[in-house]
Structure 1
Amino acid sequence: MPKNIVCFGELLLRLGAPGHERLLQTPRLDVVVGGAEANVAVALAQLGHAAAMVSVVPDNALGVATVGELRRHGVDVAAVHTGAGRQGLYFLATGAMHRASEVLYDRAQSAFALASASGYDWPRLLAGADLLHLSGVTPALGAETAAAAIAAARVARTAGVQVSFDGNYRAKLWAAWDSDPPVVLRQLFAEADIAFADHRDIELVLGQTTSGDSREQRIEAAARQAFGAFPHLQRIVTTLRTQHSVDHHELGAMMVTRDGGVHRTTDYTLTAIVDRIGTGDAFAAGVLHGLSSAMTDADALHFGLAAACLKHSEPGDFSRANQMEIEAVMAGTGFDVRR
């Protein structure tokens, strides 16, 4: 059954070096629209949900273009308003083989970052919503965006709207202002029903270390600590990535639930990766779709992983995969030409 899902975050323009070039190796940049929460909204809209975006953009051609791109992909942009400031940007140089990709943020003084937290009427914006999706990128942008994200999560909790939170820790963004990430993030985890996070995110928030002989054991131990600290939290979900080179990965996923469930997928082998950006957002959208469609936890996890795998094959920030394509990956039947 389609759900009404509200996503709150900044709309960005990505300026990428062509192919695998370094930034400005040649005088050209390819432009696409993105942003963590916008990526989730687009992916959910492709899967049939009523996805709405709450954001602020500048009143100029760049703001118009970003909003228009979300609208073109089926996202409700009625709650995207204009404000003083500039368009948020980031620059990408996609790596290859053993040269890592590089992201440069240019988001200071953006319209979204400058918008007052008091300017969002959350009871009205969340009226009729089934779920609110937030990420750790938004509070990393400054005190106002942090306050706005916390207010949104608290109003959602009071109104009975489920809260999805993706940790998405971005150290470069937090370092740009006088921030205290654990204090801020702890308030968002406290309102979440589902958190997309691994043991490192949880250790940061709780100020505790976890032990275990494997990555999976550390994630499970950290999840148990998080369930003890945050009574509303029901599920911790994360991808598990092993990188052999920039364009050859193994990708799996894991979910730990408050009732004691632990689910671990098998890994997919990803070679000749086209674009890694937005794959975590495609994963989150896929898991949320699965859970809202009454899939079992294990099936929802597998659906999210398949969605993430597909996103690796698609350039740009957005995942445009539909349910049939994702299920074909799950079934191992996705390679034949569709005629």
Structure 2
Amino acid sequence: MPNEPLSTARRIVCFGELLMRMSPPGNELPLQSPRFEVRFGGAEANVAASLAILGHDSVMVSALPDNMLGHACAGELRRHGVDTTSLHYAEGRMGLYFFSPGAMHRPSEVLYDRADSVFARVAPGAYDWPSLLAGAQWLHVSGINLALGTSTAQATLDAVRAAREAGLSISFDCNYRSKLWGSRAAQAPALLRDIVSEADLMFGNDRDVALILGRDFPGATANDRFRAAADAAFAQWPRLRRLAATERFHRNVDDQDIVGLLATREHVLSSTTHSLTQIVDRIGGGDAFAAGLLHGLFRNMPEHAALDFAMAATCLKHSIPGDVNTLREADMLAFLTQGGFEVKR
């Protein structure tokens, strides 16, 4: 169950596709044995669920098939405390993705099966954004919507423009997925640029900014490249207030280092570098980071503390199977104080 509502809780609307994830057990290859583990997720839904668990009034706007799969997915969101009353149901198929977990020096792999899903087929005009955004303070969307087709791209642009008109703050996660863009990849920079121009907070690294602006950001370190990209982003987009990202340094699939970066128009912050060993599941790690940072900002934490909280969220997510970080604020704070690894009794 979610935490009790906080005095600094926000009503945040998340818009994106809900997916069913199919994974072979353990570190098996797909169909190595005739079994799949089934979970539900999606970039924006993972953020919505994490924020609900952290005590915020979290709303999911999406479209689902009007069948047992769609209703099971909605039920999973409700279990985490997400408001599902804005979900649209229609005849059609559920978006799927197959996740093949890597191990050691064999990388993980994702196979998407989401073409012509219910979400992809909904006409942009079907979303009554003034009503859907009523009472909210924040809208969160991602670049995945832009990659899925012209209808979902237009719906996302309509959403951010309605949010801007209504005075909401907007966060945008670039989430560039080359497999999803496919033959439409040439359209990506312009579409991403349209959304970023309306955003207050962008989740993206120097490579994302380089893609959108069509230029490179050379630098000796990840911090140098991120700082240069942030300077260019703030110069390009007057509304943008913050740019946030994580950088990974891989030893192999199971052992990595990760650092968080947060830029404002005044300064660039870098978190402690955290070692992730014997990773259980990294899917949703970026969404946990996004939700953690949003929660920190909503709680009026100093920016360095909000970044630290976001890093605690993403690090702990790597220990949890599935797409969603199901841990509470106290778990992230305990991580930051390094309370030890004894059994909690």
TM category, shorter: over 0.9
The residue number in structure 1 matching 2:270 is 264
Match of 2:22 among 15, 40, 60: 15
Q: Distance in 1 between matches of 2:130 and 2:340?
A: 43
Matched-pair contact (CA < 8 Å) for 2:262–2:268: yes
Match of 2:329 among 308, 323, 328: 323
Shift of 1:279: 0.5
Q: Distance in 2 between matches of 1:298 and 1:334?
A: 23
The residue number in structure 2 matching 1:337 is 343
Secondary structure at the aligned position of 2:305 is classed as helix
Shift of 1:85: 2.3
Q: Distance in 2 between matches of 1:178 and 1:249?
A: 29
Match of 1:290 among 281, 288, 296: 296
- How big is the alpha-carbon RMSD for the aligned residues of Structure 1 and Structure 2? 1.0
Query: Which residue identity is paired with 1:191?
Result: E
The residue number in structure 1 matching 2:4 is none
Is residue 182 of structure 2 the alignment partner of residue 159 of structure 1? Answer: no
Shift of 1:13: 0.3
Matched-pair contact (CA < 8 Å) for 1:39–1:281: yes
Would the alpha carbon gap of residues 61 and 200 (structure 1) be closer, same or farther in structure 2, given more than 3 Å must change? same
Matched-pair contact (CA < 8 Å) for 1:307–1:326: yes
The residue number in structure 2 matching 1:273 is 279
Q: Distance in 1 between matches of 2:185 and 2:312?
A: 39
Match of 1:249 among 245, 256, 259: 256
Matched-pair contact (CA < 8 Å) for 2:178–2:185: no
Secondary structure at the aligned position of 1:129 is classed as coil
Secondary structure at the aligned position of 2:47 is classed as helix
Would the alpha carbon gap of residues 178 and 307 (structure 1) be closer, same or farther in structure 2, given more than 3 Å must change? closer
The residue number in structure 1 matching 2:230 is 223
Query: Which residue identity is paired with 1:306?
Result: A
Task: Flag structure 1 segments of 5+ consecutive residues without an equivalent.
Answer: none
Shift of 1:176: 5.0
Shift of 1:83: 2.1
Shift of 1:334: 4.9
Matched-pair contact (CA < 8 Å) for 1:84–1:114: no
Percentage of identical aligned residues: 51
The residue number in structure 1 matching 2:156 is 149
The count of residues paired between Structure 1 and Structure 2 equals 338
Shift of 1:252: 1.0
Secondary structure at the aligned position of 2:220 is classed as coil
Task: Flag structure 2 segments of 5+ consecutive residues without an equivalent.
Answer: 1-7
TM-score by length of 1: 0.98
Shift of 1:165: 0.4
Secondary structure at the aligned position of 2:275 is classed as strand
Q: What CA deviation, in whole Å up to 9, does each residue of 1:34-77 have, x standing for no partner?
A: 00000000000110000000000011111111111001110000
Flag as ranges the 4+ runs of structure 1 deviating above 4 A. Answer: 176-179
